[in-house]
Chain A
């Protein structure tokens, strides 16, 4: 059961709160990340297809392959679900799905293998912009239209080498979780950060977004400890790190975790240290994070991506490129702030389905 104060206790410092509300409000309408070549982001609406266009695409009987960088979390599942559902609507057959498990070499192999099926479309998140560039170039030369998630291979030019990149606002997600953390702390306290120690665009962006926001806007929040984790057991690693932080700083008020799986580990550490009053902010609306939010326990808020919508958008952009439609080279989806109050609604936005019983069942009114 939740104890040590509810996560959404209204803090007294109204100036700080006002600043937070303003910041969050600004985020909901604006994407903070820039495209790989500094492009301004286009909105999702830019990828809409008319009924006529859908019919036109259907007639082409296209095929598509999905080459994921990693497949083992809700985010990937939702993204693939979005892609598959939209591809189905567009009459495009998904002929292969691969999971590189964060290994660029494996992803290169996967792309090579996929090319044996000569797909018209490849949707992928490049694990490493340098290492995968050659493979994507060959795929493109082999006739596949490329649509990327979040990140593009090095030296690639939108419209020429690839169709478009659809990104979550990862920087914005970091900013969102920073505001939510600040709100729960009423703008002051000591916090620790658990980041992903890898040269991975997406997670670096979040880390920067979070850290910069706290530093620039909340002078009373002290970042006393920053620790990287490298996996593969991210929950376990995060638990170890969180334990150490709580041991070293008994007065630590909050911990930010770079995505929901590490946050699971932080929760376990907080429980075993008897620190159910710890404020945890994170990214991505994973099931466990949702349960914690529903219980109003430990997790105070997160910046969610919209992986399902992202997948839908990618599918549409790919299709559009086949009917000679000019599409924007960079589309971004705004960050979605999630806390206890909007959890159930947010779930619907993220996954396009109702929250499961495991979440609704424990929702504390």
Chain B
């Protein structure tokens, strides 16, 4: 039965045909927030043992649809069936009872608890009647991580860990529930290749156990790698559902954006990179335990890609450059002049900008409006005569919103209510608005949809063409290869390779360089 799961559902059928194998069936789902309709009469079905990809632009409604299935939101109308039986999923507890678990895009973790405590939150192992055992939870967590093929300390307080570890913990937490339906909302957005690979293998094993998986992703290669079927949403409406075997990437992209685009990430030779006027020179930078004796020169018009495994120190390097972490030794020159940067304020004054890796904790004030967030680094420019100029603010914010096609019904809406990808766009827009001399980007396209990603990469190129220098961190090698003129490979905080783009023949070559094989 499991083996036949995918074979009988083909073409553009919406999947509403009754079948005994359908574990989840959502039909006619509609949802509006404060009058803004975000889901319109959407149908979705999941067959036992399949991996069903869910795709769509940022803000298309993917997360909302899944949150309805998980009981976070209740649909305004529509019906949900689990194993053919209509159910009312009014809260997350009901969803868990129905065997549905979810990896949340914005995480469901408590930073003050440890990894293991998070993984087993509400499902704590019990001993002696009613006492919970953190020891057992730690052991089981370690087992889950081993299964996932990653190494995370179950006893570490979450607050001390970076986004990638949060992502892994979030996945482990969903796995710990032993759900029969697992929703994964962009689980690899902050993962590097190695961890992502391990996750795909795990998904294969889960599938073999008959667990059905809904997989939301913006990465076409992943979708083809693991999914059996795909459903595409656009503007809250169902566009297509198809077996992946019978659909081309171009068709999917067309379904997502509603028009044909050549969405391929390719490197383009750029004349500007020949300028060779150094804009940022770093010599012997050492900071904490994760940046050791790093030296490089970034020239005007150049894009340097930073590659490395998780924990290789890329984030720490740009943090130190931006004045967040102190340098214990080393020197920095900007525009040929030696500078000391001890605070982010100084860094900004010297023309640096950093798009941080964690948009929720480092990039945005979630409760504040989109406009206020966009304007935060631009306050000097919108002040005249000592006071903020409301007109300037409104028009500048509007310019950024349209330039980065941020999907927001009203610029005064709280940024935390935007879809994940749109939040990321706000962070990018906020910093590009400052027109920096040196732009540092730490995983800037995490969670951004395909169309926008290529637009962002175009923008990065344009910024470089304009004579600025760019440091570009990404764990997604295709995009790293697409924009970088040069790639530095970091390992344990040290630069182990410094390669000109043209020396890198393909992705595999880079992957091997990163892993140090």
In the complex, is A directly touching B at CB under 8 Å? no
Which B residues contact A (CB, under 8 angstroms)?
Answer: none
Which A residues contact B (CB, under 8 angstroms)?
Answer: none
